[in-house]
Structure 1
Amino acid sequence: MNPNGPLLHFVIAAGLLDSFNPCAIAVLLIFIALMFTLSKNRSAILSMGFVYIMFIFLTYLAIGLGLLKIITIFSIPHLIVKIGAWIVIIVGLWGLKDTLFPGKRNILAIPIGSRQLIASWATKATIPAAAVTGILVGLTEFPCSGAVYIATLTLLSSSTTFLKGLIYLIVYNFMFVLPLIVLLLIAANRMILEKMINLDEMNSDRIRVISALIMIGIGIVILKWFV
C-alpha cells in the first residue's frame, strides 16, 4: 500500500465524509442524552460511549469485509466500480429529493421502529447494552450511510488484494468513527449537549442535503479519476 497514493487519500476522505451523516450524529447525541436522563456521570457516559462507538466500528468493519469478499468474487472490476459509483450518486439524488420534497420516509434516516429498538437497549445503560446498541446502530444506519461505503468497497476490490483491502477498511472505519469520538468528548458536557441537540434539530434538513451532496460528489470523483 502506497501511503501517499491517491487511493489512500480517497479512503481517508470518504470515511471522514461518510461520518457526516444525519444518522450517526443524531443517534450519538440521543444516546448521550439518554445517559444524562438516567443520571450517569461523565466517566460512565464516556465509558459507555466509547464501547458504543467501538461496536459501531466493529460492525461496520464486519459488514465491509463481507461485502468486499463478495464483490471480489466478480472478475469485472471496472464495471463493478462504475456500478458502485452510480449507486452512491443515485442514493444521493434520492436523499436530496426526499429532503427537499418530503414523503413518508427519508432514505437518509433510520426507520422509527429501529430507533425504538435502539432506544430500548440504550436505556439499559450498561456496558453490554452499549455494545448491543452500537451493533444495532451499525446495522440500521448502513442503509442510511452505506452508499459511500459500497462505492469505496467496489473501488478497493478493483485496486487492491483482499488483505490490503482489509487495511484500507480499517483506515476508512477509523475515519468514520473519529468525528463521533470527538463529538462524544465534547457532548459529554450537559450544557454543550443541549446546544448541540438544538443545533442538530434546527439543521437536520441542511445536514441531510449536505450528506446527499457529499454522496453525489464522491460518485462523480470515482467516475472521473478511478474508472
Structure 2
Amino acid sequence: MASQNTEQKNNLMVQMEYYQYNVCASCHPEDDFFAVVSDTISPIKQKYPYEIAVYNTFRAEDKKRFEKRLQELMLKEADVSLPTLIMISEDSEALVCLSGLDEIKEKLEDTLKQAAKPGQFVSSEAALESDEKTEAASLIENESQNQMQISSSDWKEQLREAVSKDKSTDSVILYFSTVSCTDCSEVKSLLKKMTDEQTTKKPLVIHEFNIAEEDNVVLLQKLFSIYDVASDKQQVPIVFFSGGYLSGSKAVTQGLEQKWKDDELTGFNLENILSDDASWKEENKDQASFKTYIGLAAAGFINGVNPCGASMLLMLLAAIAMSGRSVIKTGCAYLAGKFTAYCAMGMGLYKLFMAIGQDIFLSISNVFTWIFAAVFFILAILYLIDFVNVKRKQYGKIRMQLPTALRKWNHERIEKASKINAKWMIPAAVVLGIMISAGEFFCTGQVYLAAILYMMKMQQEMKLQTNAAFIIYVTAMCIPSFLIVLVIEKTKNVIHMSNKTLEWLPAIKLVTAIVFFIFAVFMLMQ
C-alpha cells in the first residue's frame, strides 16, 4: 500500500491537448473523445492525474498552436490526421502525438502511463542536434509561408469574382455554412424569407459559401482576420456585411433582418478589403468606435440634465450670487469636483465589473443580460410614471429622486460651503462637487450604470478606449450644468433658471425613460 502511494506521488500531472476540426456551432465532435476518456483513463485518474484542453483548428489561433506543436514533434500536417491528441512535457513541449480517434482509443491508456513517469519520453526537439532542429523548423516554416502566399492571391480573386456585379446600393451578405448543420438550416430559412420580401428599391444579394470546399475555408479564415472575429465566434453559420458580422444562428436570426431594414447592409467596399487588409480593419473599427463615443456622449448629456444634479447646483449658485462672489469661478470649481468624482466612480465600477465580469458577465451573460434588461425596463416605467405625475403637477408622487435625508444633508453642506472665507472658496467648491456627486449618484447613477455595461460590451467587440470613453461621457454630462452656470453668470437670475428647470422636468423624465428603454433593448439584442 505504501509503495502504491509513493508511486502515485512520483507520477507527473500529464497535460493533454486534444485538437479537432469543427466548423459547426451546433456540433460537438469532442463528445466521442470524452467517451473514450471515460471508458479508458477516467478510472485511473487518481493514480495517473491528467488535464485535458480542447482546441479547434478551424480557428486561426488554435491552428497556430497546433502547427507549433507539430513543429516541436518535427511533423507536418500531412503526417497526422485529426482528431489529434498531444501529450505535453513538464517544460511545455510536445512529447508524443496520437493521430486519429482509433489510435487514441487504442493507445491512450498506455501512453498516459508512460507520460506520467519522469524521463519516459524525450521530446523530438531534444532528440535532434541543434543544426537538424533549425533545418527542420526552417523547412516547415518556409513551406507554410509559400502556401500562405498562394492562398492569399486565391482568396482575393475568389471574393472579387463573387461580388464584382454588386452595386453600392445593394444589400450584400457573405454567408458561410456547411452541410448537416442544424444552425445553418435555421439561418438559410431566414435568408429565404428575406429574399422573398426584397423589392427593387431594396435589393438583397446573398453570396453563399459552403466551407466543405477548401477554397471557401481559406476565404473564411481570411475574413475572420480582416473583421477581427473573436476566437469563440469563429464558426458557421456566420454572415459578413459592410459594417461587421453576425456569428451563430441566434445572432443572425435575431439581428440580420433588422440590419437589412435599417440599410446597414449596403455599401460593401471590396477594394478597401483587397487593397489593404490591416488599414480597412482599423478604419472599420474606428468608424464603429466613433459611433459608440457619440452614443456615450448623448447618454452623458441626457443624464446631465437630471433634475437631482441641477437642483443642487442651483442652490449653490443662489447662495454664491447672494454673497456677491464669482458665480463662474465657483461654478467651474464645483463642476471640476463633479467631473473628478464621476470619472473616479465610473472607472472604479468598470474595473470591478471587468475583474469579476470577464468570467461572470461573459460566461453567464444570458442570465445577466435578462436581469439588467428587466431592471432597465422597470426604471423606464418608473420614469414614465414620474412623467405623468409631473404633467399633473403631483410633485409629491415623484419616485425617481434623491431620498429626503440625502437632500437635507446636501443642503446643509451647500449652506456651510457658501459661508467659507473667499480665499478658500474655490478648493471648497471642488470638494463640495465631489461630496455632492457621491450622494447624487443614487439618482444619476442609473443611466451611468447602463452606460458602463454598454462600455463593457463594446470593449469586448472593438477594444474600446475606456479612459477616453469615460472622459467623453462625464464631459458631456457636465455640459448642461456648465450652461446653467453661464446663464446665471450672465443674467444673475437664479429663480428664473430654477423655474425653467421645473418647466423642463416633464421632458427630462420622458427622455430618461426612453434612454432606459433603448438600453434595455440593446441588452436583449446582444
Specify if TM > 0.5: yes
Identity of aligned residues (%): 23
1:95 aligns with 2:383: yes
Q: Which residue of 1 aligns with 2:337?
A: 55
Give the drift of 1:212: 2.7
1:16 aligns with 2:289: no
1:70 aligns with 2:352: yes
Contact 2:377 / 2:520 at 8 angstroms: preserved in 1? Answer: yes
Q: Which residue of 1 aligns with 2:442?
A: 143
Give the drift of 1:192: 4.0
Letter in 2 for 1:8: Y
Alpha carbons of structure 1 residues 116 and 127: separation in structure 2 relative to 1, 3 Å:
farther
Supply the distance in 2 between the matched residues of 1:28 and 1:36 (Cα, whole angstroms): 12
Supply the distance in 1 between the matched residues of 2:498 and 2:319 (Cα, whole angstroms): 12
Structure 1: runs of 5 or more not aligned:
none
Alpha carbons of structure 1 residues 114 and 190: separation in structure 2 relative to 1, 3 Å:
farther
1:219 aligns with 2:219: no
Supply the distance in 1 between the matched residues of 2:286 and 2:330 (Cα, whole angstroms): 33
Q: TM-score, normalised by structure 2?
A: 0.39
Structure with higher strand content:
2
Contact 2:303 / 2:477 at 8 angstroms: preserved in 1? Answer: yes
Q: Which structure is richer in relative contact order (CA contacts within 8 A, separation 6 or more)? A: 1
Give the drift of 1:177: 0.6
Supply the distance in 1 between the matched residues of 2:346 and 2:470 (Cα, whole angstroms): 7
Residues 146-185 of structure 1 aligned to structure 2 (within 5 Å) = 146-160=445-459, 164-185=465-486
Supply the distance in 1 between the matched residues of 2:430 and 2:293 (Cα, whole angstroms): 29
Structure with higher helix content:
1
Please identify the structure whose Cα radius of gyration is greater. Answer: 2
Supply the distance in 2 between the matched residues of 1:200 and 1:209 (Cα, whole angstroms): 14
Give the drift of 1:97: 2.5
RMSD: 2.7
Q: Which residue of 2 aligns with 1:31?
A: 316
Letter in 1 for 2:318: A
Q: TM-score, normalised by structure 1?
A: 0.83
Alpha carbons of structure 1 residues 57 and 93: separation in structure 2 relative to 1, 3 Å:
same
Alpha carbons of structure 1 residues 165 and 87: separation in structure 2 relative to 1, 3 Å:
farther
Q: Comparing 64-73 with 154-163, which one deviates more in the overlay?
A: 154-163
Look up the SS of the partner of 1:110 in the other structure: coil
Q: Which residue of 1 aligns with 2:402?
A: 110
Structure 2: runs of 5 or more not aligned:
1-281, 419-424
Give the drift of 1:58: 1.0
Alpha carbons of structure 1 residues 129 and 28: separation in structure 2 relative to 1, 3 Å:
same
Give the drift of 1:221: 4.3
Alpha carbons of structure 1 residues 190 and 103: separation in structure 2 relative to 1, 3 Å:
closer
Alpha carbons of structure 1 residues 213 and 99: separation in structure 2 relative to 1, 3 Å:
same
Give the drift of 1:112: 2.5
Q: Comparing 159-168 with 127-136, which one deviates more in the overlay?
A: 159-168
